[in-house]
Chains A and B, each alone.
Chain A
Amino acid sequence: MGEIITITSGKGGVGKSTTVANIATAMAQEGKKVIAIDFDIGLRNLDMLLGLENRIVYDVVDVMEGNCNLSQAVINDKNTKGLFFLPASQTKDKNILNVEKIEKLLNELKGIYDYILVDSPAGIESGFEHSVYLADRALVVTTPEVSAVRDADRVIGIIDAKSLKAKNGEEVEKHVIINRLKPELVERGDMLAIDDVLQILSLPLIGVVPDDEKVVSATNRGEPVVLNKESRSGEAYRRIAKRVMGEEVEFMDLNEKKSLGKLLKGLFR
């Protein structure tokens, strides 16, 4: 049976979809059968990040409404074997989803894929509720900024209230991903450090993604940055994917690029 993993954040623009695209790609590269689903109805985005926007015929709402079969709507990524994608619908009313239909779809997917990654919409409205309802576990993405951390805290507080697993007396496993960390700023005391964020959110960490310009060009091209073996953010995502899959992986040293000159400068600033 596949595992349903919801990626959520509360605040928009912190890198949820980028995280989904990269973890899904990395898992597929590890030989897993993975499907990424965009639950942001009306504001489709994951397709562009995966570079699959031109291959969409049907979407997740079409499947739930019975306008097509599941296999007609699911797109397989030709560049990454084992990676599949189910797009959000772009035009339809976002309130069209309902719990019974989502349950039916996700349970069907669980029988086919090893991992089902659900890209939650920003906010804490019905779209968010639907995306966490059947989650086995949740990855909460935040950046080291006050607004993102505050919204992450709010979301963490409601995940269990909206989850079926919690209703049955179990807990949804929750982890934090800290995205776009700038080690130099942390060093200077001008950005919340990893420990600050973890202490505030009181959740375990599953990965830190350093701020990386390569993500921008990867997004421009529609090729997730994990495909770039040289990128540090890609390496961070690869490690997160492995941890989600149950492997123990060392955390990256984010300061390793620091030169002696910089060290000396820091000393006398």
Chain B
Amino acid sequence: MSLMGKLFGKEQGSASVARDRLMVTLAKERASNAFPYMEEMKRDIIEVIKKYTKVKDVTITTDKNQDIDFIEIDVALGK
């Protein structure tokens, strides 16, 4: 960006757009990459529950609270 552009704040280079887009996209992607075993684990959990009762669906959600990662597992039982 030229000095004049900087001074008057009218010139916005495309690099800052690139930076912002990357930051947002990567934040999302990193979150989903943090648990690479998720699909496999979900299959295993379903297998275990099946041994005892009927399972309709298993939903796994992840959350982060400061330094602790959470995995929440919701099991919907079938009739």
Contact = CB atoms under 8 A, between A and B. Distances in A.
Q: Give me the 8 closest cross-chain CB pairs, A-B, nearest first.
A: A189-B13, A189-B1, A269-B2, A190-B13, A196-B19, A267-B3, A266-B2, A190-B14
Interface size class of B (residues with CB under 8 A): 20 to 34
A269 B13 CA distance: 13
17 contacts: A146-B18, A150-B22, A150-B25, A153-B30, A186-B15, A188-B2, A189-B5, A189-B13, A189-B14, A190-B14, A192-B18, A193-B15, A200-B26, A267-B3, A267-B4, A269-B4, A269-B5
A196 B23 CA distance: 10
Interface in B26-76: 26, 29-30, 33, 36
Is the contact region of chain A dominated by helix, strand, or loop, or is it mixed?
A: helix
B22 A200 contact: yes
Contacts of A149: 22
A188 B1 contact: yes
B36 A161 contact: yes
Q: Size class of A's contact patch?
A: 20 to 34
Contacts, number: 56
B8 to A, nearest CB: 12
Contacts of A268: 2, 4
Given A150-B25, A192-B18, 17 more contacts: A153-B30, A154-B33, A186-B15, A188-B13, A189-B11, A189-B12, A189-B14, A190-B13, A190-B14, A190-B15, A192-B19, A196-B18, A200-B26, A266-B2, A267-B2, A269-B2, A269-B4
A191 interface: yes
Interface of B: 1-5, 11-16, 18-19, 21-23, 25-26, 29-30, 33, 36
A233 to B, nearest CB: 22
